Amino acid sequence: MRFYNRQHTYYCGIDLHVKTLYVCILDGTGQVLVHSNVPSTPEAFLEIVAPYRDGLVVAVECMFTWYWVADLCAAECIPCVLGHALAMKALHGGKAKNDRIDSHKIAVLLRGGLLPQASVYPAAMRSTRDLIRRRLHLVRKRGQLLAHIQNTRAQYNLPVFGRTLAYRTNRAGVVEHFPDPSVQKSIAVDRALIDQYDALVIDLELTIVREAKRHNADACHRLRSVPGIGKVLALTILYEIHDITRVDRVQEFASYARLVKCKNQSGGKTLGTGGAKMGTVHVKWAFSEAAVLFLRHTEGKKLIARIQKQHGKGQALSILAHTIGRAVFYMLSRGTVFSRETFLAA
């Protein structure tokens, strides 16, 4: 966890909401200069911080409405710090909690150099990253519909489908597979939604690929050299990481990608693990999918057999995903492509 510890003249803590934001501004001695609730508009924010613009730093909690505050501060050349929501325990540990108290706590943490810092994702790539996440949401909804068709078939103990329903051409006659008219109607709805999802996902992928070529096509091609990482996984990893240089060590990258568990220790004793939700779940998903797809290759089958022999079947896929994640870190850091010899030797 990184903390923001630079010195400034004024420290502004914001408890941000959709319609309002509670602003607290402290000076270098900790004296409260401003403590008021204003509408969530750029004009209201700039007006209240205008007397303290010189030497001002702004901190806001990482919630879903932080985009406009960070972009406004960047346009006005005001330093903006994004607080890590899960790590800001001081906001939730007091006896009383409200917007006024929270804004003051954020300002105090910022002034004391104890504000846990999250990364401010650049605005130029932010919309494309959110579009990739939206595509993943649609794909999961589509998967739920396909699973519902299969579950309904099993529910009525009907013969299995001859082909995989994930492909459009294989879904012909799937409605007639069920004799009951009401069940046929339910399956027809599922099929219509799946067809619509297919069209939406294809259109989203075309837009995402076009934007990726404009941002960082070279890194995307290098990621696709890894067996098991295709177009979608490469784009997911690329846009979620953004810039590999913001991570100093491979251990920090593995922690950020949720590929390792962190121990809780006290007095020389291990008290379980923690921080399971620290990091990004999307990179975790991408490397987990890459590990499964890596097994389709010959070297993947040999490697997973060796890992299973050493660590057991239950941890084999997690270890393989961790290994792929470390390889991706070194590839992006050194600007190289995937090397099977180096990977298998490691």
Q: Per the domain annotation, does 157 fall within a domain? A: yes
Per the structure, the complete domain to which residue 318 belongs is given by 231-262+277-345
The whole-number pLDDT of residue 9 equals: 95
Q: Per the domain annotation, does 114 fall within a domain? A: yes
Q: Per the domain annotation, does 203 fall within a domain? A: yes
For residues 6 and 114, membership in a common domain is answered with yes
For residues 101 and 130, membership in a common domain is answered with no
For residues 236 and 337, membership in a common domain is answered with yes
pLDDT tier for residue 67 given thresholds of 50, 70 and 90: very high
The whole-number pLDDT of residue 345 equals: 78
- In the predicted model, what is the mean pLDDT of the chain? 91
What are the strands of the beta sheet with 10-16, ordered from one edge? Answer: 2-4, 115-118, 80-83, 56-61, 10-16, 20-27, 32-39
Q: Which of 95, 118, 141 is the C-terminal boundary of a domain?
A: 118
CATH number of domain containing 68 = 3.30.420.40
312 exposed, middle or buried (CB, 10 Å; 0-12, 13-18, 19+)?
exposed
328 exposed, middle or buried (CB, 10 Å; 0-12, 13-18, 19+)?
buried
Tally of CB atoms within 10 A around 217: 12
Q: Per the domain annotation, does 240 fall within a domain? A: yes
User: What is the DSSP secondary structure assignment for residue 168, as one 8-state letter?
Assistant: G
The whole-number pLDDT of residue 262 equals: 82
Residue 311 CB-half CA count within 13 A: 11
Q: Per the domain annotation, does 52 fall within a domain? A: yes
Strands 80-83 and 56-61: parallel
For residues 89 and 182, membership in a common domain is answered with no
Output phi, psi for 31, to 5 deg.
-75, 135
For residues 63 and 134, membership in a common domain is answered with no
pLDDT tier for residue 300 given thresholds of 50, 70 and 90: confident
Check pLDDT > 90 for residue 299.
Answer: no
Average pLDDT value for residue range 275-280: 80
How confident is the model over 48-57, as pLDDT tens digits? 999 999 999 9
The whole-number pLDDT of residue 326 equals: 93
Check pLDDT > 80 for residue 274.
Answer: no
Q: CB under 8 Å to 32, separation ≥6 — which residues?
A: 24, 25, 26, 104
Contact criterion met (CB below 8 Å) for 23 and 17: no
Percent of the chain with pLDDT over 90: 67
pLDDT tier for residue 237 given thresholds of 50, 70 and 90: very high
pLDDT tier for residue 19 given thresholds of 50, 70 and 90: very high
The whole-number pLDDT of residue 29 equals: 93
How confident is the model over 116-166, as pLDDT tens digits? 998 889 888 899 999 999 999 999 999 999 999 999 999 999 999 988 999
The whole-number pLDDT of residue 187 equals: 96
For residues 133 and 105, membership in a common domain is answered with no
Q: Which of 118, 140, 174 is the C-terminal boundary of a domain?
A: 118
Q: Which of 118, 145, 166 is the C-terminal boundary of a domain?
A: 118
Check pLDDT > 80 for residue 77.
Answer: yes
Percent of the chain with pLDDT over 70: 100
For residues 76 and 141, membership in a common domain is answered with no
* Largest separation between any pair of C-alpha atoms in the chain: 77
The whole-number pLDDT of residue 344 equals: 80
Q: What is the b/e burial string over 104-118, where b = at least 16 CB atoms within 10 angstroms of the residue's CB? A: bbbbbbbbeeebbbb
Q: Per the domain annotation, does 269 fall within a domain? A: no
Q: Taking the model in full, what pTM does it have? A: 0.85
Q: Which residue has the higher pLDDT, 299 or 37?
A: 37
The total number of structural domains that make up the chain: 3
The whole-number pLDDT of residue 36 equals: 94
Average pLDDT value for residue range 61-72: 92
pLDDT tier for residue 343 given thresholds of 50, 70 and 90: confident
Q: Per the domain annotation, does 164 fall within a domain? A: yes
Average pLDDT value for residue range 240-254: 90
Average pLDDT value for residue range 278-297: 91
Contact criterion met (CB below 8 Å) for 16 and 30: no
For residues 152 and 77, membership in a common domain is answered with no
For residues 58 and 131, membership in a common domain is answered with no
Summary count for the chain: helices (H), strands (E): 11, 9
Check pLDDT > 80 for residue 305.
Answer: yes
For residues 84 and 47, membership in a common domain is answered with yes
Q: Which residue has the higher pLDDT, 325 or 266?
A: 325
For residues 133 and 37, membership in a common domain is answered with no
User: What is the DSSP secondary structure assignment for residue 160, as one 8-state letter?
Assistant: P
For residues 56 and 70, membership in a common domain is answered with yes
Check pLDDT > 90 for residue 2.
Answer: no
How confident is the model over 83-121, as pLDDT tens digits? 998 888 777 777 888 999 999 999 999 999 999 998 889
Q: Per the domain annotation, does 204 fall within a domain? A: yes
